[in-house]
Amino acid sequence: MTDIELVKKALYKGFIDKSIEGSKLDPKFIVNQPEKKDFFLNVLQEEIDECRTFTFSVAFVTQDGLNALKSHFSDLADRGIEGRLLTSTYLGFNDPYVFYSLLEIPNLEVRISQKNGFHSKGYLFEHEDYQSFVIGSSNLTMNALKLNYEWNILLTTRDHGEIISDIRKHLEEEWVQAVPLTKQWIASYEQEYKPRPKVESVSLLTETDVMEKKSYIYPNKMQKLALENLKELRESGAKKGLIISATGTGKTYLAGLDVAQVKPKHMLFIVHREQILNKAKESFQRILGGPDSDYGVLSGTSKELQAKYLFATIQSISRDKNLQQFSREAFDYVLIDEVHKAGADSYLKVLDYFAPKFLLGMTATPERTDNFNIYELFDYNIAYEIRLQEALEEDLLCPFHYFGVTDYETITESTELKYLANTERARFLLKKINYYGCSRNDPKALVFCSRKEEAQKLCQLFNEQDAKSAYLTGDHSIEERERVVEQLENGEIQYIFTVDIFNEGIDIPKINQVIMLRNTQSSIIFIQQLGRGLRKDPSKDFVTIIDFIGNYQNNYMIPMALSGDITRNKNNLRKDTFDTTYITGPSSVNFEIIAKERIYQSIDAVKLDDVKSLREIFKNLKNRINRVPYLKDFLEHGVVDPSIIATKYCSYYDFLVKMNENEGTITPEENKQLMFMSRELLPGMRRHELILLKALLNKPVITTTDFQELLLDEGLNSDTPTILSALRTLSLEFYTGSSRKNYSGAELISYHDKKIFRSTAFERALKNSYYAFLINDLLGAALIKNAEYETEQPLTLYKKYRRRDVLRLLNWQEQMVDQNIGGYTYKDGKFVIFMTLEKGENFKGARMAYEDTIIDPQHILYYTKSPRTINSPEVKILLKPADWEIYMFIKKSDDEGTDFYFMGTVNPIRETIHELMKPTQDGTKRSVVEAEFLLEHPLDSKFYRYLIGIQ
């Protein structure tokens, strides 16, 4: 179908008949729908990514709106694509900061309209064979792109359409009359610009502002809930409580508010760094009031031991000569900040000594890499928990714009200092930093480096480039650190280079830029460093996070940390890289294309099922729930996909034995049954087998009619082929070859005379109560996993399946060996195609280099096996597919594993099917047939760009 035909069809669907088959050119009505993760921003980014040039005509532009598009503009610049933006000074909305930011985008020409009342909101995109444009209510602001209730329409057209001609005509007329944006123009505008009073300023007040303006401190939403929970905890008789709260959400003020409601005679607040003491003391004093003499500090430089409210460093309070000056009951309320450190001997010594009426611990990251159990220390009493994503949803943190950008040349973990810190890299870094900018163009940045020498040298190089900088390491004294921080806050310097001393426990609310120049060592450290800028402050509207991504092995941790998804599921990590709509509110996450590819490469290469990592996850979950965790526990706490354990070990029982945590024993025969269920049923792709086994746990035999009724009760397909497929799966009749050999003896059922029986081995195994417990747990976990899948269809769009999974779910009677399937197979009206896009240099398929391709989000080019002709049986099916369903499965490369994404059903385009001769490795030519397929469901643009890679 030609592009003209596609445009005609799109208009017909949009304005005459919505029931006809759609295409990527269909008109779209666009409304921000946060609950569906569907935003105007998504459409705008997709159009930018696929265009050849663009022109925006928008009255209002903000820095945060621009930030959501900067990495996309950068990718266009790498491809030599330029665009234009026409804006205005209407109502004085656009501030000078945004005009300076616009000047930093080299491939964007900007002009200022002189027209009175310029209030347009239009976005025009030139594509190879058509144009698209969006007209509606959305300006280029983050509120309009993601948050506000806006109406916009996306339409496509050909060159000679009347509407596009009129739009272009008016745009060009206005463009010619508009004034080019220059530094001189901005300087003149600054002289007359008057900042608008911000309507939202009340909701952006920090706790500091509230305290300065009111005599009473009002708790935020998080603090209210936590205070209620703490009160209920104490009323139940608990003497300990744990608060888990993201950095910047107000843990210190929460602690002060709880002390205010408890009214202790004496309180002890323990911190791990002296820098935190005075700020904590000031916060408490504003909340609690009272004379200065009520508040004291115990540190290396102060010993105010008689104070009612004592703020102490752990280093000082743990010294015997200080500790023994207090009775064990001296404090009726003890608080520990950053309590994840409490496993250290110094903390345990202090906690063993004091006997308070209530002990409160606070942390953003309770997980530990050693075996110490923080949860046990607080009697498993979690008073309140709010992590990064929830804190963003509740508007407790400063909005952030994360940019994953490409680092200079080929930076790796082992790069020598002379390449990490030289003039060329410093210039490269500054160019990127200036491009992505910061709130109000006044940098107050923390720069995290990989080593001390790099921090020191880059600091020197930045200063040589007139970027005022200082560096701090663990070698600097508290006084030196405080002096440098004060210089940053006062604007005397712009950048502080460091390694890890600012990871936690330091409060610098004015930080508006966090720059990461190091390999991501762990998700926890990543969030700690990102969190340095998330505290709200009147001096900033958002914080910019610039992460320079080199060729690091640990790049896979970046989407893990940003999304909060720690299931270690590679498919999730890939999706969280190409689709970042999981970030809520006015925040955004964007990756440059090359940086994104480096993350994909890391995900492909990494082993996420290594024993060390799984052991650590297991221990942390055990610590949290105070018992041995089982498969359902991993899912309910979202810590690891149990299918990962199932593929690493024969069964979860084997894993427990490896951890030395099995609470019973099972026989090898029983373990083989568990292995079969773990590998075939645990992923939860179909409920039928799970429902049948659940029924057979309670009754040794059921009729096929009973089974059918159970399926109907669940709203599931209960036709004969599907029921037979489930029976053949559990009886192992479906499996052949090595699968049948591996599972031999693990049959769970037999069936005849319309009755379904437990197999003899299954009947025998169920007498073992520990085995029965493990089976119940596995089936429960599989049913939870099944919620991810469609129940009305055998296959779920964009889910991944192995070849044998596909055949089973489509009710094939028997498994085929993968090698025999190759690229496709067909039977009984079902034709399944498995396509690998990047076959690699060593691909030997039919001794021919296949060029299977995704042409665009709706069209796929595919080649048959060879030798094949127009008269081959499968080609005849493609030429007359009326009685066939054709299913398309795709994976990017073999590096992704043996499973494929389900792309939906496809229709062959008859006129594209033809025979040709292609060269083979031995220099001869063989006949092959090529065909284009039309996807019933056009690919999501982000997923499409992931599959095709860098273009």
pLDDT in tens, 612-621: 999 999 999 9
Asked if residue 66 has pLDDT above 90, the reply is: yes
Asked if residue 209 has pLDDT above 80, the reply is: no
pTM for the structure as a whole: 0.90
Pick the CATH number of 207-392 from 3.40.50.300, 3.40.30.10, 3.20.20.60, 3.90.76.10: 3.40.50.300
User: 282 CB contacts (<8 Å, ≥6 apart)?
Assistant: none
Determine the pLDDT at residue 848: 61
- Residue 617 DSSP one-character state: H
Cite the residue boundaries of each domain of the chain with CATH code 3.30.870.10: 3-192
Determine the CATH number of domain 800-948. 2.30.280
Are the C-beta atoms of residues 733 and 748 closer than 8 Å to each other? no
Task: Tell the residue number behind the tokens 């746990």, with chain if given.
Answer: 697
**pLDDT tens digits, residue range 91-103?**
999 999 999 999 9
State which amino acid sits at residue 580.
Answer: T
Are the C-beta atoms of residues 404 and 591 closer than 8 Å to each other? yes
What is the distance between the alpha carbons of residues 579 and 234, in angstroms, rounded to a whole number? 43
Task: Tell the residue number behind the tokens 């603090």, with chain if given.
Answer: 223
Determine the pLDDT at residue 389: 86
Q: pLDDT band at residue 844, thresholds of 50, 70 and 90? A: low
Cite the residue boundaries of each domain of the chain with CATH code 2.30.280: 800-948
What is the distance between the alpha carbons of residues 262 and 503, in angstroms, rounded to a whole number? 31
Class of domain 3-192: alpha beta
Distances, alpha carbon 136 to alpha carbons 107, 129, 169, 189, in Å: 25, 24, 19, 28
Asked if residue 208 has pLDDT above 50, the reply is: no
Segment (H or E) for 30: strand 28-30
Determine the pLDDT at residue 773: 98
**pLDDT tens digits, residue range 524-569?**
889 989 999 999 999 999 999 999 999 899 999 999 999 999 899 9
Residue 299 three-state SS: coil
Determine the pLDDT at residue 216: 66
Determine the pLDDT at residue 203: 32
What is the distance between the alpha carbons of residues 470 and 456, in angstroms, rounded to a whole number? 8
Superfamily classification of domain 398-551+583-601: P-loop containing nucleotide triphosphate hydrolases (3.40.50.300)
Residue 918 three-state SS: strand
User: 725 CB contacts (<8 Å, ≥6 apart)?
Assistant: 688, 734, 808, 809, 811, 812, 813
Asked if residue 23 has pLDDT above 90, the reply is: no
Determine the pLDDT at residue 500: 84
Distances, alpha carbon 235 to alpha carbons 230, 245, 255, in Å: 9, 22, 18
**pLDDT tens digits, residue range 598-653?**
999 999 999 999 999 999 999 999 999 999 999 999 999 999 999 999 889 999 99
**pLDDT over 90 for what percent of the chain?**
81
User: 143 CB contacts (<8 Å, ≥6 apart)?
Assistant: 62, 65, 586
Are the C-beta atoms of residues 219 and 384 closer than 8 Å to each other? no
Asked if residue 205 has pLDDT above 60, the reply is: no
Determine the pLDDT at residue 215: 45
Segment (H or E) for 555: none
User: 77 CB contacts (<8 Å, ≥6 apart)?
Assistant: 106, 107
Partner residues linked to 87 by β-bridges? 112
Asked if residue 202 has pLDDT above 80, the reply is: no
Determine the pLDDT at residue 134: 98
Asked if residue 411 has pLDDT above 90, the reply is: no
Tell me if the bond preceding 867 is cis, omega within 30° of 0. yes
Among 155-164, 208-217, 803-812, where is mean pLDDT lowest? 208-217
Which of 209 and 568 is assigned the larger pLDDT? 568
Q: pLDDT band at residue 145, thresholds of 50, 70 and 90? A: very high
